[in-house]
Structure 1
């Protein structure tokens, strides 16, 4: 049996504003939001290294067919400058703009890829690794949208549980932790950043700490931005 859980999605101006660092450079914010009302935004990139760093940008359309992330070429969004070099201790402002207006009434997802181009004249000895980032970009429609989560728990022949969550809603859902409870006790848990895009389904397997039977009642707890969401499910 699948249980639906409706999640309200934050507007573009309320998306994550944490700083993420990838070795020699950092970016802020780490999630970008665009809409018809706000068709452009900025990204700050800072180089904390003692040498210049050259970065290249690309925007990809982000979908999840068959539950897996899939990135495709797109011209819906532009990021400029596409290639730039930041001096040691310097900053670069990247402008991200929407080329295509919303026509589907559902949140659209993209990824802004930040790729470090290794210097051919590196300073010092040793191996210099190129560091890359992939930042979510969400384009929100004019109307309010929500994520609707439908959970399903199936018992497998090998004793493991198959957990799946479908999102028939019009906005994404992100969670960093999950716990599976039976009679108030945690029987399985995990920590991994997962996105469930509109219209997508994600599925994974887990080994419970004790055997379960079909028909057992469970609670599923997810943690998103420090907030817990709880729903019930029945083992199928």
Structure 2
């Protein structure tokens, strides 16, 4: 299995902060790659690497949730169709750990199944003070949470092009997107619907009208899973077209906006 030459930090989805007052401590700096793992129809397993770039031991819990979208929001459910092993990793500074993502159930032919790999950092206990046992220095401890998308494919559908493998180019999945402008409680929104067989990852989105452009986001706008509709606030109701990069493509895609 080929991996990128350089690890790329995963998106930090959120963090929990323990109550404290003095210095702030980030126990480790975790790099995760690849940031877009897939399980193609001819693969029973895939690899995810975790590397500790910090100066303290990293204790990590790895869970895989089924990912769906409804009511314009992401939804997660427990599942056992894809399992991450080991589920708990202890990684010393400068070391890395392989997480094996194993599929235990096949995906229906021609379909994509979405998952989210949630990696939680388990903070180490605060050190006891020299003043006495049982007491700890006042500090803020960060519990980092990393979220990585995972897509699994059924026979006849591929998620990524790979010139080294014999795969039918016609099987590469493509999203089919439509968009509209709506107003909710007096505020403008953009809705994007995906009628395609695979997800759409929207980045660098803007509203355009003729030669003029109004940026919406500089980086990731969000995902639209197959059959789903997602909604994002817009700074203005101006514009006739939603322009965005879809699934990292070099060229921007223009999606006409309806009312």
Distance, in Å, in 1 between the alignment partners of 2:8 and 2:128 is 27
Distance, in Å, in 2 between the alignment partners of 1:180 and 1:123 is 55
User: Which has more strand, going by share of residues?
Assistant: 1
Pair 1:90–1:232, CA change in 2 (3 A):
same
1:229 aligns to 2:218 (yes or no): no
Alignment of 1:32-181 (within 5 A): 32-103=37-108, 105-122=110-127, 126-143=139-156, 144=171, 145-154=173-182, 158=186, 160-181=187-208
Alignment RMSD: 2.7
Q: Secondary structure of 1:59's partner?
A: strand
Q: Is the 8 A contact 1:188 1:207 kept in 2?
A: no
Q: Is the 8 A contact 1:188 1:206 kept in 2?
A: no
Question: How many residues are paired up?
Answer: 216
**Structure 1 segments unaligned to the other structure (5+ residues):** 1-11
Shift of 1:122: 4.9
Q: Is the 8 A contact 1:153 1:233 kept in 2?
A: yes
Counterpart for residue 182 of structure 1:
209
Distance, in Å, in 1 between the alignment partners of 2:253 and 2:7 is 22
Higher relative contact order (CA 8 A, sep 6+): 1
Pair 1:155–1:131, CA change in 2 (3 A):
closer
**Structure 2 segments unaligned to the other structure (5+ residues):** 13-27, 130-136, 157-170
Shift of 1:176: 1.8
Pair 1:61–1:13, CA change in 2 (3 A):
farther
Shift of 1:185: 1.2
Distance, in Å, in 2 between the alignment partners of 1:190 and 1:96 is 32
Pair 1:113–1:195, CA change in 2 (3 A):
same
Alignment of 1:21-36 (within 5 A): 24-36=29-41
The CA deviation string for residues 207-235 of structure 1, in whole angstroms up to 9 with x for no partner, is 32xx76xxxx712211242531113234x
Shift of 1:74: 0.2
Distance, in Å, in 2 between the alignment partners of 1:176 and 1:14 is 23
Counterpart selection for 1:203 from 225, 231, 239: 231
TM-score (norm 1): 0.81
TM-score (norm 2): 0.74
The CA deviation string for residues 49-69 of structure 1, in whole angstroms up to 9 with x for no partner, is 222111011110000011200
Q: Is the 8 A contact 1:182 1:219 kept in 2?
A: yes
